[in-house]
Amino acid sequence: MAATDLERCSNVEPEPRSLSLGGHVGFDSLPDQLVSKSVTQGFSFNILCVGETGIGKSTLMNTLFNTTFETEEASHHEASVRLRPQTYDLQESNVQLKLTIVDAVGFGDQINKDERPIVDYIDAQFENYLQEELKIRRSLFDYHDTRVHVCLYFITPTGHSLKSLDLVTMKKLDSKVNIIPIIAKADTISKSELHKFKIKIMGELVSNGVQIYQFPTDDEAVAEINAVMNAHLPFAVVGSTEEVKVGNKLVRARQYPWGVVQVENENHCDFVKLREMLIRVNMEDLREQTHTRHYELYRRCKLEEMGFQDSDGDSQPFSLQETYEAKRKEFLSELQRKEEEMRQMFVNKVKETELELKEKERELHEKFEHLKWIHQEEKRKVEEKRRELEEETSAFSRRKVEALQSQALQATSQQPLRKDKDKKKASGWSSIYSVTIP
Ligand code: GTP
Ligand code: MG
C-alpha cells in the first residue's frame, strides 16, 4: 500500500461494532462506583450573597441550611465593597459538604457602590483553579474548589422596579456566575404587588439583556419541575430561624400582631421552591455549569490572552509546544528590541550630556577670556595712573627744589643789609640758615 493510502486509512476512524454480551460482566456498576467515589471525596458548594446591608442574607442562609452560621452584622459605614468568604463543613447522612458562603459586605450601601470587587473575587477563584490546572504536579483531587457556583441576588422589595445598580451588577456578573434573583423580605409586600413586581423584574432583566440562571430542562427526570420553577422566578422569600407554634406543630415563621408568616408555607412565600431548586434538584447542575460554562469562558479568554491558540490562521491545529515556541520567540525578539531601544537611548543620553558639557566648557572659556581681558585693562589703567602719579611727584619735587632755591637766593641777597643792622644791635647772636636740598 502507498504511503498516502496508509495515511488516508489511519485518518478515517472505523465505526465501532455493537456486540451483545453472553452474560453479566459487571460494568453496569460504574454509576454506583462513581457515586461511591464522589461520596468518599465529598462535595464543595460555594454561594455568593449579593444584596444591600440588612436585606436578610444571613437569615436566609441559616433558614436554607437549617443551622446557625456564625455571622457578624455588616456596618453601614464600610468604605467600599468587601468580600467575606466563610467555609463550613456540613454533613447530611453520609454526604460531606464543604460549604462556602461569601458575603458582599457593604454592597449597595456606599456612594462608591462599585461591583468591581465582586467581579474580581469571582475571577480570582477561577484564576486559582486555572493555576492549579496548569501546574505540572496538579492536585485537583483534593483541591478546595472555591469557584462561585451560584450568586443569590437579593432584590429589595420596593414594588417599583429594579435599581440601576442591580441591573448593572447583574449584567457584569451574568457571564461569570449562575445568578438566581430573589425578592427578599417578601412578607413586606402585598400579594398583588408582589405579582406585578415579579413581572416587572423579569421584563427589565430581559430588556437589559441580563442572563439569569435557568433551571435545566434537558434532563427528563427534572425537566417538568424545572420548567414550572423557571416561570416562578424571581423567588420571593422570607427568612426566619424563629419557631412558632401553628396548630400543634412548631414551624419556622415570622410572627406579627396581625398573623404569622410561615417560611415553609408555599402560600406565604417561595422559600420551599428556592430550597428545592437550589439544593435538592439543581445543586450538581450549578456546579457543572460553573465548570463547563463560566470557568471555560474564563479559561479560554485567559489562555488566548497568554497567546495560546488551538489553530493557526489556516485552521491548522496548533500544539501547545508550537504555541509555546512561537510565544517564546516573540518574547525573545521583543526583549531584544527593548534592549536595543534602551542601548540607543543610553547612547543618545551620553551624546546629549557630552554636548551639554562641551557647551558649558566653551561658556567657561569665554568667561575666563573676558575676565582676563578685564584684568589686563584694569592693570593697564593702574599702570597709567602710577605713571601719571610718578610724573606728578617728580614735577612737584622739581617745583619744590626750585622754590627752595629761589628762597635761598633771596636770603643770600639780603644778608649784608642784615649784618649791618645786626651790628647795630647790642646782642651778639647770629642766625645761620642752612638749606637742605632733597
Ligand atoms: P448584613 O450581613 O448586616 O448585611 O445583614 P443581612 O443581609 O445578613 O441581614 P440579616 O439576615 O442580618 O437580617 C437583618 C434584619 O432583617 C434582621 O432583623 C432580620 O430579622 C430581618 N429579616 C431577615 N429576613 C427577613 C424577612 O424575610 N422578612 C422580614 N420582614 N425581616 C427579615
Ligand atoms: Mg449578614
CB–CB of 212/181 below 8 Å? yes
Whole-number pLDDT of residue 416: 66
- Lateral strand order in the sheet of 243-246: 243-246, 249-256, 259-262
Given a cut of 60, is residue 5 above it in pLDDT? no
Sorting pLDDT into bands at 50, 70 and 90, what band is 292? very high
Q: Which ligand is nearest to the CA of 235?
A: 1
Q: What is the spatial distance between Cα 34 and Cα 27, in angstroms, rounded to a whole number?
A: 12
Nearest by Cα to 177 from 113, 87, 83: 83
pLDDT at 432: 47
User: Ligand 2 centre and the CA of 69: distance in Å?
Assistant: 10
Q: Which helix (H) or strand (E) holds 247?
A: none
User: Is there a contact between 242 and 218 (Cβ–Cβ < 8 Å)?
Assistant: no
In the reported structure, the alpha carbon of residue 123 is separated from the centroid of ligand 2 by a whole-number distance in angstroms of 23
Q: Where do we find the cell 456564625?
A: 70
Pocket test for ligand 1, best of 59, 75, 242, 271 (most atoms within 8 A of CB): 59
| CA 307 to centroid of ligand 1, rounded, Å | 47
Segment among 179-193, 226-240, 424-438 with least mean pLDDT? 424-438
Helix, strand, coil % over all residues of the chain, rounded to 5: 55, 15, 35
Dump pLDDT digits (tens) for 259-268.
888 988 888 8
Confidence of residue 112 (pLDDT cuts 50, 70, 90): low
Nearest to 149 by CA among 177, 113, 119: 177
**Whose Cα sits closest to atom 29 in ligand 1?**
185
| Confidence check: pLDDT of 124 > 80 | yes
Please tell me the residue having the least CA distance from ligand 1 atom 26: 185
User: What confidence score (pLDDT) does residue 338 get?
Assistant: 95
- Tell me the pLDDT tens digit for each residue of 133-147: 888 888 777 788 999
From 232, 235, 240, 275, select the one nearest 256 (Cα to Cα).
Answer: 240
Which grid coordinates belong to 269?
412565600
Whether the CB-CB separation of 169 and 52 falls below 8 Å is answered with: no
The residue with cell 447530611 is 92
Q: What is the rounded CA–CA span in Å between residue 296 and residue 288?
A: 11
Instruction: Please state, for a pLDDT cut of 90, what percent of the chain lies above it.
Output: 52
